[in-house]
Amino acid sequence: MGIKASPTCVMNFDGATGYLVGEENQGLACMFTMMNDARFQVGLQGLGAAEASYQGALTYARERVQSRAPQGIQNPDGKADPIVFQPDVARMLLTQKSLIEGCRALSLFYAKFMDVEKLGEGQEKEDADKILQFLTPICKAFMTDMGLETTSLGVQVFGGHGFIREWGMEQLMRDVRIAMLYEGTNGIQALDLIGRKLTRDGGQMMEATYNAFNALVSDIQDSEAKGLAKVFLMTGVHPQPIA
Protein backbone atom coordinates (compact mmCIF):
# COMPACT_ATOMS: atom_id res chain seq x y z
CA MET A 1 0.00 0.00 0.00
CA GLY A 2 2.73 2.45 0.97
CA ILE A 3 6.38 2.90 2.11
CA LYS A 4 7.39 0.96 -1.00
CA ALA A 5 11.02 2.04 -0.64
CA SER A 6 11.15 -0.04 2.56
CA PRO A 7 12.21 -3.68 1.96
CA THR A 8 9.38 -5.06 4.09
CA CYS A 9 8.93 -8.80 3.63
CA VAL A 10 8.44 -12.14 5.34
CA MET A 11 11.67 -13.74 6.59
CA ASN A 12 11.87 -17.47 7.32
CA PHE A 13 14.42 -18.79 9.81
CA ASP A 14 13.67 -22.51 9.49
CA GLY A 15 16.73 -24.51 10.51
CA ALA A 16 18.61 -21.47 11.81
CA THR A 17 20.51 -21.58 15.09
CA GLY A 18 19.27 -19.26 17.83
CA TYR A 19 21.67 -17.63 20.29
CA LEU A 20 20.75 -16.15 23.66
CA VAL A 21 21.68 -12.47 23.84
CA GLY A 22 21.52 -11.07 27.36
CA GLU A 23 19.69 -12.68 30.27
CA GLU A 24 17.09 -15.39 29.83
CA ASN A 25 13.45 -14.18 29.83
CA GLN A 26 14.56 -10.53 29.69
CA GLY A 27 14.30 -10.07 25.95
CA LEU A 28 10.87 -8.43 26.02
CA ALA A 29 12.00 -5.85 28.57
CA CYS A 30 14.98 -4.96 26.37
CA MET A 31 12.73 -4.73 23.33
CA PHE A 32 10.41 -2.24 25.02
CA THR A 33 13.34 0.09 25.72
CA MET A 34 13.72 0.37 21.97
CA MET A 35 9.99 0.22 21.32
CA ASN A 36 9.05 3.22 23.46
CA ASP A 37 11.64 5.39 21.73
CA ALA A 38 10.44 4.15 18.35
CA ARG A 39 6.83 4.95 19.21
CA PHE A 40 7.62 8.63 19.59
CA GLN A 41 9.57 8.57 16.33
CA VAL A 42 6.60 6.98 14.58
CA GLY A 43 4.46 9.81 15.93
CA LEU A 44 6.90 12.22 14.31
CA GLN A 45 6.44 10.33 11.06
CA GLY A 46 2.75 11.19 11.23
CA LEU A 47 3.59 14.83 11.88
CA GLY A 48 6.09 14.95 9.02
CA ALA A 49 3.65 13.53 6.48
CA ALA A 50 0.97 15.94 7.69
CA GLU A 51 3.27 18.94 7.28
CA ALA A 52 4.31 17.88 3.77
CA SER A 53 0.67 17.42 2.80
CA TYR A 54 -0.29 20.83 4.18
CA GLN A 55 2.52 22.60 2.36
CA GLY A 56 1.53 20.97 -0.91
CA ALA A 57 -2.17 21.71 -0.42
CA LEU A 58 -1.59 25.34 0.53
CA THR A 59 0.63 25.98 -2.49
CA TYR A 60 -1.87 24.32 -4.82
CA ALA A 61 -4.84 26.23 -3.37
CA ARG A 62 -3.05 29.54 -3.88
CA GLU A 63 -2.18 28.75 -7.50
CA ARG A 64 -5.27 26.88 -8.71
CA VAL A 65 -7.93 29.25 -10.03
CA GLN A 66 -11.56 28.25 -10.48
CA SER A 67 -14.74 30.37 -10.49
CA ARG A 68 -15.12 33.45 -8.31
CA ALA A 69 -14.82 33.63 -4.55
CA PRO A 70 -18.19 33.82 -2.73
CA GLN A 71 -17.04 36.89 -0.81
CA GLY A 72 -16.28 38.81 -4.00
CA ILE A 73 -13.65 39.03 -6.72
CA GLN A 74 -10.15 38.44 -5.33
CA ASN A 75 -8.23 38.36 -8.61
CA PRO A 76 -9.60 41.18 -10.78
CA ASP A 77 -6.94 40.71 -13.45
CA GLY A 78 -7.86 37.07 -13.99
CA LYS A 79 -10.91 35.18 -15.13
CA ALA A 80 -11.19 33.30 -11.83
CA ASP A 81 -9.99 33.41 -8.23
CA PRO A 82 -7.64 31.01 -6.42
CA ILE A 83 -9.53 28.22 -4.70
CA VAL A 84 -7.92 29.17 -1.38
CA PHE A 85 -10.75 31.72 -1.11
CA GLN A 86 -13.41 29.01 -1.30
CA PRO A 87 -14.80 28.46 2.23
CA ASP A 88 -14.55 24.68 2.15
CA VAL A 89 -10.96 24.75 0.93
CA ALA A 90 -10.06 27.32 3.57
CA ARG A 91 -11.70 25.14 6.21
CA MET A 92 -9.64 22.13 5.20
CA LEU A 93 -6.40 24.10 5.16
CA LEU A 94 -7.09 25.62 8.56
CA THR A 95 -7.95 22.19 9.94
CA GLN A 96 -4.65 20.85 8.63
CA LYS A 97 -2.74 23.77 10.11
CA SER A 98 -4.37 23.55 13.53
CA LEU A 99 -3.80 19.79 13.81
CA ILE A 100 -0.18 20.12 12.71
CA GLU A 101 0.59 22.92 15.15
CA GLY A 102 -1.00 20.95 17.97
CA CYS A 103 1.07 17.87 17.13
CA ARG A 104 4.23 19.93 16.82
CA ALA A 105 3.64 21.54 20.21
CA LEU A 106 3.07 18.12 21.76
CA SER A 107 6.24 16.73 20.20
CA LEU A 108 8.34 19.64 21.48
CA PHE A 109 6.82 19.24 24.93
CA TYR A 110 7.78 15.57 24.86
CA ALA A 111 11.29 16.30 23.57
CA LYS A 112 11.89 18.73 26.43
CA PHE A 113 11.37 15.97 28.96
CA MET A 114 13.61 13.63 26.98
CA ASP A 115 16.42 16.08 27.72
CA VAL A 116 15.40 16.44 31.37
CA GLU A 117 15.23 12.68 31.83
CA LYS A 118 18.68 12.27 30.30
CA LEU A 119 20.49 15.21 31.91
CA GLY A 120 18.43 16.04 35.00
CA GLU A 121 18.89 14.83 38.56
CA GLY A 122 16.80 13.72 41.51
CA GLN A 123 13.06 14.34 41.55
CA GLU A 124 13.17 16.33 38.31
CA LYS A 125 14.64 13.32 36.51
CA GLU A 126 12.11 10.94 38.07
CA ASP A 127 9.17 13.15 37.10
CA ALA A 128 10.46 13.48 33.54
CA ASP A 129 10.58 9.69 33.23
CA LYS A 130 6.97 9.43 34.45
CA ILE A 131 5.83 12.12 32.01
CA LEU A 132 7.55 10.42 29.07
CA GLN A 133 5.99 7.06 29.91
CA PHE A 134 2.54 8.64 30.17
CA LEU A 135 2.83 10.67 26.96
CA THR A 136 4.41 7.98 24.77
CA PRO A 137 1.17 6.18 23.79
CA ILE A 138 -0.61 9.53 23.45
CA CYS A 139 2.02 10.94 21.10
CA LYS A 140 2.18 7.79 19.01
CA ALA A 141 -1.56 7.34 18.58
CA PHE A 142 -2.70 10.94 18.32
CA MET A 143 0.01 12.15 15.97
CA THR A 144 -0.39 9.23 13.58
CA ASP A 145 -4.20 9.48 13.64
CA MET A 146 -3.90 13.16 12.81
CA GLY A 147 -1.31 12.36 10.16
CA LEU A 148 -3.83 10.24 8.27
CA GLU A 149 -6.62 12.78 8.71
CA THR A 150 -4.42 15.64 7.54
CA THR A 151 -3.05 13.84 4.49
CA SER A 152 -6.61 12.86 3.56
CA LEU A 153 -7.56 16.53 3.66
CA GLY A 154 -4.55 17.30 1.48
CA VAL A 155 -5.86 14.91 -1.16
CA GLN A 156 -9.28 16.54 -0.91
CA VAL A 157 -7.90 20.05 -1.44
CA PHE A 158 -6.39 18.87 -4.73
CA GLY A 159 -9.71 17.46 -5.88
CA GLY A 160 -9.32 14.83 -8.59
CA HIS A 161 -5.65 15.73 -8.96
CA GLY A 162 -5.10 14.53 -5.40
CA PHE A 163 -6.01 10.99 -6.45
CA ILE A 164 -3.47 10.98 -9.27
CA ARG A 165 0.00 9.65 -8.49
CA GLU A 166 2.02 12.35 -10.25
CA TRP A 167 0.95 15.04 -7.73
CA GLY A 168 2.35 13.12 -4.76
CA MET A 169 -0.52 13.72 -2.36
CA GLU A 170 -1.87 10.18 -2.49
CA GLN A 171 1.59 8.81 -1.66
CA LEU A 172 1.72 10.80 1.57
CA MET A 173 -1.62 9.33 2.59
CA ARG A 174 -0.55 5.78 1.69
CA ASP A 175 2.81 6.08 3.42
CA VAL A 176 1.48 7.49 6.68
CA ARG A 177 -1.16 4.76 7.07
CA ILE A 178 1.42 2.27 8.33
CA ALA A 179 2.29 4.57 11.23
CA MET A 180 -1.02 3.70 12.90
CA LEU A 181 -0.05 0.01 12.77
CA TYR A 182 3.59 -0.62 13.51
CA GLU A 183 5.37 -0.25 16.87
CA GLY A 184 2.04 -1.23 18.43
CA THR A 185 -1.29 -0.40 16.81
CA ASN A 186 -3.08 2.67 18.07
CA GLY A 187 -5.59 0.44 19.82
CA ILE A 188 -2.71 -1.09 21.76
CA GLN A 189 -1.58 2.42 22.68
CA ALA A 190 -5.02 3.03 24.17
CA LEU A 191 -4.81 -0.19 26.17
CA ASP A 192 -1.35 0.77 27.40
CA LEU A 193 -2.54 4.21 28.50
CA ILE A 194 -5.73 3.07 30.23
CA GLY A 195 -4.61 -0.31 31.51
CA ARG A 196 -1.11 0.58 32.69
CA LYS A 197 -0.17 4.21 32.72
CA LEU A 198 -3.28 5.68 34.37
CA THR A 199 -3.29 3.28 37.31
CA ARG A 200 0.39 2.60 37.94
CA ASP A 201 1.71 3.78 41.31
CA GLY A 202 -1.62 5.29 42.26
CA GLY A 203 -1.76 7.56 39.23
CA GLN A 204 1.66 9.19 39.74
CA MET A 205 2.37 9.32 36.00
CA MET A 206 -0.85 11.19 35.32
CA GLU A 207 -0.20 13.50 38.28
CA ALA A 208 3.30 14.37 37.06
CA THR A 209 2.00 15.01 33.54
CA TYR A 210 -0.85 17.20 34.78
CA ASN A 211 1.57 19.25 36.87
CA ALA A 212 3.85 19.72 33.87
CA PHE A 213 1.00 20.97 31.68
CA ASN A 214 -0.28 23.18 34.49
CA ALA A 215 3.17 24.75 34.84
CA LEU A 216 3.24 25.38 31.10
CA VAL A 217 -0.18 27.02 31.21
CA SER A 218 0.94 29.26 34.06
CA ASP A 219 3.97 30.35 32.04
CA ILE A 220 1.92 31.40 29.01
CA GLN A 221 -0.91 33.23 30.75
CA ASP A 222 0.68 36.57 29.86
CA SER A 223 1.34 35.60 26.24
CA GLU A 224 -0.84 35.57 23.13
CA ALA A 225 -2.01 32.10 24.17
CA LYS A 226 -3.52 33.33 27.43
CA GLY A 227 -7.04 32.62 26.14
CA LEU A 228 -6.24 28.93 25.81
CA ALA A 229 -4.57 28.95 29.19
CA LYS A 230 -7.72 30.40 30.72
CA VAL A 231 -9.85 27.63 29.24
CA PHE A 232 -7.53 25.01 30.69
CA LEU A 233 -7.65 26.56 34.14
CA MET A 234 -11.44 27.05 34.05
CA THR A 235 -12.04 23.33 33.61
CA GLY A 236 -10.92 22.77 37.17
CA VAL A 237 -9.93 19.22 36.28
CA HIS A 238 -7.30 17.77 38.57
CA PRO A 239 -6.27 14.11 38.62
CA GLN A 240 -6.96 12.30 41.86
CA PRO A 241 -4.78 9.49 43.23
CA ILE A 242 -5.95 6.07 42.13
CA ALA A 243 -6.16 3.48 44.87
Distance CA(28)–CA(167), nearest Å, equals 42
Closest by CA to 99, choosing from 144, 137, 37, is: 144
Query: Radius of gyration of the chain from Cα atoms?
Result: 22
Global pTM reads 0.87
Residues 6+ apart with CB under 8 A from 200: none
Distance CA(64)–CA(47), nearest Å, equals 25
Distance CA(43)–CA(104), nearest Å, equals 10
DSSP state of 14: T
Q: Residue type at 71?
A: Q
**Model pLDDT for residues 107-153, shown as the tens digit of each residue:** 999 999 999 999 999 999 999 999 999 999 999 999 999 999 999 99
Domains and CATH numbers, the chain: 33-197 (1.20.140.10), 202-243 (no CATH)
When pLDDT is averaged across residues 144-170 and rounded to a whole number, the result is: 98
pLDDT at 243 over 70: no
Q: Just list the catalytic residues.
A: 183
User: Alpha-carbon torsion 184, 185, 186, 189, what sign?
Assistant: negative
